[in-house]
Each structure stands twice: as C-alpha cells, then as structure tokens.
Structure 1
Amino acid sequence: MRCGVDEAGRGPLAGPVVAAAVIFAQVPAGLDDSKRLSEKRRAALVPAIKAHAQAWCIAQASAAEIDQLNIHQATLLAMRRAVEGLGMIPDECIIDGKFVPPGLACSARALVGADAQVAEVSAASILAKQWRDAEMLRWDKVYPDFGFARHKGYPTAQHLAALRRVGPCVIHRYSYAPVAQHNLAL
C-alpha cells in the first residue's frame, strides 16, 4: 500500500506548517494539486478523500517549532508526524518535494511535482491546505487585527501593515525577517 505525503504553509509569516498523509482503499475522482483547485473544489473533495482512504492523518509543526528548528526541518517533522499518525505502516511513502523525512518506518522517496502526479499526494495536498486554511480562520477570530482569514498568514501588504501597527502575535514565526523586525515583545 502506497502513502502520499504533502505539506501546506511553508511561506507564511504566521501559523503552523501542516502535513497530511493518505493511503487510499479506492481513489476518488477529481484529484489534483491543491494549488490548481479552487477553494470550493478543495472543500468538496475533502469528504471524498476521507471516505475513500484506508487511512489518513493531518499533523503540524507549530510556529514555535518552526522558529526553533527552521522551516525545512519543521516541515519534515510535520510530515513524519502525519505518516506516524496513520495507524499503519505503508509499504512506501511518496513525498512531494526533494526531501524525505528522516526516521520513517517504511521505504520513502521524494518526487518533485508529486502533488500533480500521484493521487495519494494530491489528496494529502488538499487535506493539508484545507486544514491549514481552517486553522488560520480560527486564529483570525482570536487576532482579528491581522486579517488571517484573508491572507492565511502570507506576507501581504495588509499583513505587513498590521505587523507594523500592532507587532506580532503568538502564532507568528519570529525567525522570519518581516516578523523579527517588528517584534515588540508580547
């Protein structure tokens, strides 16, 4: 059985990096790289992915872990957590990108562009993106000054203006330069 793994949220200034792992019992129709799908289409695919999966898991590394480890290592950590959370050991993991998380209990290979080529990776891409976006909507209610519901933590003009105006909050990645230059101790 093959497992697909992908992440969402490497580039934002705030929030976790999220990874998902998916093993299908049967592949649902309509899968593609999450970046190629509308938000509405991604949302519609989530129940189908979960219903057709033999196993799936979503995991994250927090902004604090990103600051402690760096975004690359935190991404690999989130991916490893997602695979470990499946409740079963796949025969093989296909990881979108150039790097395989260390310490996996199965064979694994990295494949650039796997999110557009391998159904399980496409599904993982969709789950990770949808979960992270929903997480940022929750944080928007806690920290409405930042507009997380609109930009999901990415470095937009609105987000950068909010950093200048009120300084960073607890979900910001303090090791990222645009946040560090506005860090006004909480």
Structure 2
Amino acid sequence: MPDFLLEAAHGGVVAGVDEVGRGPLAGPVVAAAVIFQSAPSDALCQMLDDSKKLTARRRDAAYAELCRSPNVTYGLGAASVAEIESINISQACHLAMRRAVKRLGRLPDLALVDGKHAPQMPCPVKMVIGGDGISLSIAAASILAKVVRDRLMVRLAERYSAYGWEHNAGYGTAIHKNGLKNYGVTPHHRRGFAPIRAMVEAANMISGEAGEMAA
C-alpha cells in the first residue's frame, strides 16, 4: 500500500502527479496533481492505492472523498487526440501533467511524478517508478485522473455506441476492434497509433483504387 513517507521526507509542499490514457486507441490523455495539506487520515489512506488495483466502485468512493476533503488541493489537465497526434503520446502525457500542476492554484516545492522519464515542470521533479503504489499523493492523482477519463469516455460512448467505450475506456478490446471493423474510425481515434493508422491507410488505398477504376 502507498504511504506518505516521500511527502513527509521533503517537508515542503509536495504534489503527486500521474496520468492515465497512454495506451488506448481513442480518447485524450488525462492527468491529475494532488497536494495533501497534511498527512491524510487513516480512513482515506485505506481508500487509496494504484487506481488499476481498485474496482470501479472503490475508485468512485475514493474520488468522492478526495474531491470533498478540505485537506486536498488538486488540479486536472488533459491533452487532446489532436495534440497526441501532433507531439506524440509521451509528450502529450507530459503536457497533461504540466497542465494539471499549473491548475493547482499554487506551485508545489516538489512534484512526485509516476514513471521514469521526467516531464518539464514549473517546479522541481522527482520521478518515482511505480509511484501510484508507493506515494499516497501519486495514488490519489491516479484515481482522480482515472475516474475523470473513464467518465469522459462514457459520455463519448453515448454518441459513438458501437465501440464499447463505456466498458473499455478506448482500449483495443474485441468489442472496440469489431466496432472499428464495422463502422470505421471516429474523430476521437488516435490515427497515429498502429492499428488505427493501418485501418486509415487501408481505407485510403481502397478509395484510391476505386477512384482509378471510375476514371
């Protein structure tokens, strides 16, 4: 379980930062930054862990507690599909993280960032590999980002119902791939990702061949 040791060891204002949505075929990247004004309560600590290890119900409960806690300051940031295609997924993740930190309303003395490749930040950065299972601040950030992104994909699924985004959050599940096969690519698909790029190229090739035949 994550703890508060890294935050307490620094002694200043420390933000935990994490992102979700690096791997899906569709949808934006979402990041969150979280500052605990003081060590979180035992009850809240028991609710926090790497968001991937929690059920949806437990994530929602932790999200609600984080949002209403006066001990928590948080910021959210995102990078759009267009930005992912323009600057690549790694840089888009870093962009979302910077936006989350800037929306805290105050610059932390240190950002604890999950992962091993340091993003450019307006404050000092300490990378923590597997940080969402180590630091309570990073775990909290992973939960906020995951819940916000999942809810966004549920809303998008109301308009694009063939891809199962309300269940797969844009990842390449069988339902999602079947939707792509039958209905093609939407504006929310990441065309730079290999499976989507292959579909677009195949469709363009077929369209070009059809145009040549018509001519």
TM-score under structure 2 normalisation? 0.82
Report the equivalent of 1:41. 58
Report the equivalent of 1:75. 93
Task: Identify which range, 92-101 or 25-34, moves more after superposition.
Answer: 25-34
Please identify which structure carries the higher helix content.
2
Report the equivalent of 1:22. 34
Equivalent residue runs for 1:1-186 within 5 Å: 1-26=13-38, 27=40, 28-29=44-45, 30-52=47-69, 53-102=71-120, 104-183=121-200, 184=203
Report the Cα offset of residue 25 of structure 1. 2.0
Report the Cα offset of residue 92 of structure 1. 0.5
Q: Distance in 1 between matches of 2:164 and 2:72?
A: 37
Larger radius of gyration: 2
Q: Distance in 2 between matches of 1:10 and 1:89?
A: 25
Report the Cα offset of residue 87 of structure 1. 0.7
Q: Residue by residue, what CA displacement relative to the aligned partner does 1:129-153 show, whole Å, maximum 9, x if unpaired?
A: 0001000000000111111112111
| Contact 1:94–1:109 (Cα < 8 Å) also in 2 | yes
In structure 2, what residue type is equivalent to 1:50? C
Instruction: Find the residue that maps to 1:110 and give its secondary structure.
Output: strand
- Give the count of matched residue pairs: 184
Instruction: Find the residue that maps to 1:182 and give its secondary structure.
Output: helix
In structure 2, what residue type is equivalent to 1:16? P
Q: Distance in 2 between matches of 1:94 and 1:51?
A: 22
Gaps of 5+ in 2: 1-12, 205-215
| Contact 1:160–1:178 (Cα < 8 Å) also in 2 | no
In structure 2, what residue type is equivalent to 1:150? H
Q: Distance in 2 between matches of 1:145 and 1:45?
A: 30
Q: Distance in 2 between matches of 1:130 and 1:73?
A: 22
Report the Cα offset of residue 64 of structure 1. 1.1
Q: What's the C-alpha RMSD, in Å, of the aligned pairs? A: 1.2
Instruction: Find the residue that maps to 1:78 and give its secondary structure.
Output: helix
Percent pairwise identity = 43
Instruction: Find the residue that maps to 2:191 and give its secondary structure.
Output: coil
Q: Distance in 1 between matches of 2:180 and 2:48?
A: 36
Report the Cα offset of residue 55 of structure 1. 1.5
Gaps of 5+ in 1: none
In structure 2, what residue type is equivalent to 1:139? L
Q: Residue by residue, what CA displacement relative to the aligned partner does 1:100-154 show, whole Å, maximum 9, x if unpaired?
A: 211x221111110110111100000000000010000000001111111121110
